[in-house]
């Protein structure tokens, strides 16, 4: 998928996820390939997620995941992902998200009904979390997706709930946390040097 199309798909998934989270409902989107069984009869034809976000949102509210190919076409909904382990302290939706994210090249967006947050996973790691209740959070989505594109599977640390430090300069994004290797490196160095 071309980079601009992937970025549009990511923005769409985050925006739809934020709407779902604000209502206190959950969802799971998997972009890529994953082992699954369908829980409901697939009566809706393939469609592009970016072109029809309202239909995407409706399908996401069903039990199970929405599976999207790398071109942006919704290929299954109400899908039960065959999980391989648990996501500690989280439920089955998060466990399914973790399993799906471990497949190379997959992008997973999980919407938590409990904490009203949208979490983005890649390569078996949560790399970004967006608080749906953040003030004007929808306006920050394009910037968050730009950061998501630049960090890949996490080269940036969690600085705080409102401050992100890209490779050059500062970007204030209230309600967005980026997780990654720099965060863990900082923790290791702090322990090693007793700070």
**Residue 168 CB partners (closer than 8 Å, separation 6+):** none
Q: Which pLDDT score, from 0 to 100, does residue 24 have?
A: 94
DSSP 134: S
Residue with the larger pLDDT of the pair 93 and 139 = 93
What's the start-to-end Cα distance of the chain, in Å?
44
pLDDT digits (tens, 9 = 90+) for 46-105: 999 999 999 999 999 999 999 999 999 999 999 999 887 776 777 889 889 999 999 999
| pTM metric for this prediction | 0.79
Q: What is the mean pLDDT of the chain?
A: 78
* Domains of the chain, first to last: 3-137 (3.40.1700.10)
Residue 153 in contact with residue 179, Cβ under 8 Å?
Answer: no
pLDDT at 127 over 90: no
Q: Which pLDDT score, from 0 to 100, does residue 188 have?
A: 37
Q: Which pLDDT score, from 0 to 100, does residue 177 have?
A: 64
Backbone angles phi, psi at 59, to 5 degrees: -70, -35
**Residue 146 CB partners (closer than 8 Å, separation 6+):** 7
At 121, is the secondary structure helix, strand, or coil?
strand
HEC letters along 164-192: ECCCCCCEECCCEEECCHHHHHHHHHHHH
């Amino acid at each position: 998928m071309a980079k601009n199309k992937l970025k549009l798909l990511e923005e769409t998934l985050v925006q739809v996820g934020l709407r779902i989270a604000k209502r206190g409902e959950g969802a799971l989107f998997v972009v890529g390939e994953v082992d699954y069984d369908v829980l409901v009869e697939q009566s809706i034809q393939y469609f592009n997620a970016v072109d029809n976000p309202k239909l995407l949102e409706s399908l996401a509210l069903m039990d199970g995941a929405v599976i999207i190919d790398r071109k942006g076409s919704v290929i299954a909904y109400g899908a039960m992902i065959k999980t391989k382990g648990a996501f500690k302290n989280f439920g089955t939706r998060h466990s399914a998200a973790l399993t799906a994210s471990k497949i190379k090249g997959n992008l997973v967006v999980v919407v938590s009904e409990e904490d009203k947050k949208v979490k983005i996973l890649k390569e078996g790691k949560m790399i970004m979390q967006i608080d749906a209740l953040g003030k004007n959070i929808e306006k920050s989505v394009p910037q968050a997706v730009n950061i998501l594109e630049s960090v890949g599977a996490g080269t940036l640390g969690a600085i705080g709930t409102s401050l992100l430090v890209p490779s050059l300069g500062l970007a204030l994004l209230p309600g967005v946390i980026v997780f990654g290797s720099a965060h863990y490196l900082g923790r290791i160095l702090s322990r090693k040097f007793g700070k």
